[in-house]
Amino acid sequence: MSETIAASFADLNLAPAIFKVIHEVGYETPSPIQAQSIPPLLEGRDLLGQAQTGTGKTAAFSLPLLSRIKPKLKAPQVLVLTPTRELALQVAEAMQTYARHLKNFHVLPVYGGQNYTQQLRQLARGVQVVVGTPGRVQDHLNRGTLKLDELSAVVIDEADEMLKMGFIEEVEQILQFAPHERQTALFSATMPKEVLEVARKHLQNPVEIRIKSKTSTVEKISQHFWQVKGLHKLDALTRILEAEEIEAMIIFVRTKLATVELAEKLEARGFSSAALNGDMTQMLREKTIDRLKDGSLDIVVATDVAARGLDVPRITHVVNYDIPHDIEAYIHRIGRTGRAGREGKAILFVAPREKRMLAAIERATRQPIKAMALPSRKDITDRRIGLFKEQIARAMESQDLEFFEELIDQYQSEYEVGHRKIAATLSYLLQKERPLQPEERFAEELPPEKPEPNTQKRPARKLDSEMQTYRIEVGRAHGVEPGNIVGAISNEAKLNSRNIGRIRLFDQFSLIDLPKDLPAEQLHKLKTVWVCDEQLQISVDSGEKQPRWDKRKERKAFGKGTLGRKKSPGKSPLQRRGGKKRKTDKA
């Protein structure tokens, strides 16, 4: 077992069709468990592999076993047992991807709770790989609907989890169905003695691989969460971008559409950023990643899938703008920072109803996730002032200012004011577009106007017949609370809050009861009012329950009044490069 360890996938003798995918999915070098597992598995040896979560075990067994598949043979040749339905789906999906260039290849996930008929139909059609949870696999074996005569390999994935969930007995029974001549691989993050016993009993002369958990990557990453409250996530993110020392940041959102939307919103606020999602061509994705690597781009908004395997040492910050669906995804996301021995910071936005996920993540990573307060108005002022001073110093050093010095002397004698006054006035003018002291509303992180808890059902002061239900395009997903809506509407439409009726919040929009006789002028005014970074776009409710994307696009076309910000003093370094799109040079 003293072979040299492969430094590149090209040295691993994988089947050409499989090798081709590795480049496509963006893996550059094999992870340690992969480098050590692939050669023996390709040789047909049994294997006992221990490596912590997130080290690439799926590919460690999939790539070699898929390399040995006979696509023409329409019978299960590889069986992978996983402890949960989610893992079964995840592994099946990964294998389908790795096998994308094998013609007529099929992988079937089977798990409890899933419709039998569909599974049977697919089994009958012929699949080469079955990935399943022990219970359901055993069911199929007992019913005779799954036959393992042609099986050449069994993988027991996450064996320690299997043990915890009480599946070991089923696993052992399933192994009885498999041909004696098969190959067996067992992977586990930890090696409790019960797992070792199974291995001893069912593996033949296995290669043993143990990847030392070098203090898990997670430990180099300081983890924080911000409880979404009283402020929209976009505003929170903007503050973080302004106040933190960031070299490069990756922001995770849930959908492809959201990557584009958020990147555009950040652009509008002066932060040059790009989306990274699975809808983009491979070429465009690579280009974006290259720009992130070479420093011509600092902010990327990505989906989990698109950022898989992303390795850019410059990334100092990961923001989980939308909480991930599962813990593995979280670990993978934050692992995009703290690379190559550097330190990283991970920030998670948690809505009140997502608290449970936060606790689950903390438990699974065995690392504390600290509550963070958003940078305060003072923090941001301080940083803007710091940057402003730097800017002055830099210009003073690098520019020939004689012409301007004379101009100031001239002004001073003509108007008889001191240098101090002139400098102050010029500073004021320079920062006017984006004040060194952020607007007042910055100060209000915590409940701005906390509504009484039952505002949702506030009694209409007018008779119901005098009210009309209106729809506004801001909802729970944007972090809105009834109080924000009441506040905005009573201020902007000069409407007494007594005349604001019931408010019902939905995900993407809300319904609000207002007087029927609201003047058109007031309504018109309300269309363009911003709440939680969304324009109200108020309209008479038609009962439709969909978000109105067309409206959103329309608004985007107008953009927000941030022109010129990219040229304001004291702008954060992340905003510096953003000037390509907007030309506001007047000087």
Binding site for ligand ADP (CB under 6 A): 27, 30-31, 34, 51, 53-59, 308-309, 332
Nearer to ligand ADP, 213 or 522 (CB): 213
Return the one option of ligand ADP, Mg ion, none that residue 54 interacts with (CB less than 5 to 8 A, by type).
Answer: ligand ADP
Q: Residue 160 CB, nearest distance to ligand ADP (Å)?
A: 12
Phi, psi of 554, deg, nearest 5? -55, -45
Nearer to Mg ion, 159 or 251 (CB): 159
The answer to whether 345 contacts Mg ion (rule: CB under 5 A) is no
Nearer to Mg ion, 57 or 314 (CB): 57
| CA neighbours closer than 13 Å in the CB half-sphere of residue 571 | 22
Residue that has been written with the tokens 């598949």 in this structure: 69
Nearer to Mg ion, 165 or 518 (CB): 165
The answer to whether 332 contacts Mg ion (rule: CB under 5 A) is no
Q: Residue 157 CB, nearest distance to ligand ADP (Å)?
A: 7
Q: Residue 297 CB, nearest distance to ligand ADP (Å)?
A: 21
Return the one option of ligand ADP, Mg ion, none that residue 482 interacts with (CB less than 5 to 8 A, by type).
Answer: none
Q: Residue 99 CB, nearest distance to ligand ADP (Å)?
A: 15
Q: Residue 38 CB, nearest distance to Mg ion (Å)?
A: 16
Nearer to ligand ADP, 30 or 515 (CB): 30
92: enclosing H helix or E strand: helix 85-98
Amino acid letter, residue 317: H
Q: Which of residues 41-70 bind Mg ion (CB under 5 A)?
A: 57
Give the number of residues in contact with Mg ion, rule: CB under 5 A. Answer: 1
The DSSP string of 221-242 is EEEEEEE--SS-HHHHHHHHHH
Q: What angle do CA 93, 22, 217 make, to 5 degrees?
A: 80
Q: Residue 291 CB, nearest distance to ligand ADP (Å)?
A: 19
- With CA atoms as reference, report the closest residue to 49 among 169, 205, 57: 57
Nearer to ligand ADP, 339 or 525 (CB): 339
| Under 8 Å between Cβ of 86 and 53 | no
Q: Residue 11 CB, nearest distance to Mg ion (Å)?
A: 24
| CA neighbours closer than 13 Å in the CB half-sphere of residue 428 | 6
> Which alpha helices (H) appear in 295-376, and where do they start and end?
304-307, 327-334, 355-365
The answer for 570, left when phi > 0, alpha when psi is -120 to 50, beta otherwise, is: left
Return the one option of Mg ion, ligand ADP, none that residue 323 interacts with (CB less than 5 to 8 A, by type).
Answer: none
Return the one option of ligand ADP, Mg ion, none that residue 442 interacts with (CB less than 5 to 8 A, by type).
Answer: none
Nearer to ligand ADP, 332 or 471 (CB): 332
* 8-state DSSP, 298: -
Phi, psi of 312, deg, nearest 5? -130, 105
Residue that has been written with the tokens 């944007």 in this structure: 478
Cα 84 to its chain centre, rounded Å, is 23
Phi, psi of 132, deg, nearest 5? -155, 170
Return the one option of ligand ADP, Mg ion, none that residue 522 interacts with (CB less than 5 to 8 A, by type).
Answer: none
Q: Residue 209 CB, nearest distance to Mg ion (Å)?
A: 15
Q: Footprint of Mg ion on this chain (CB under 5 A)?
A: 57
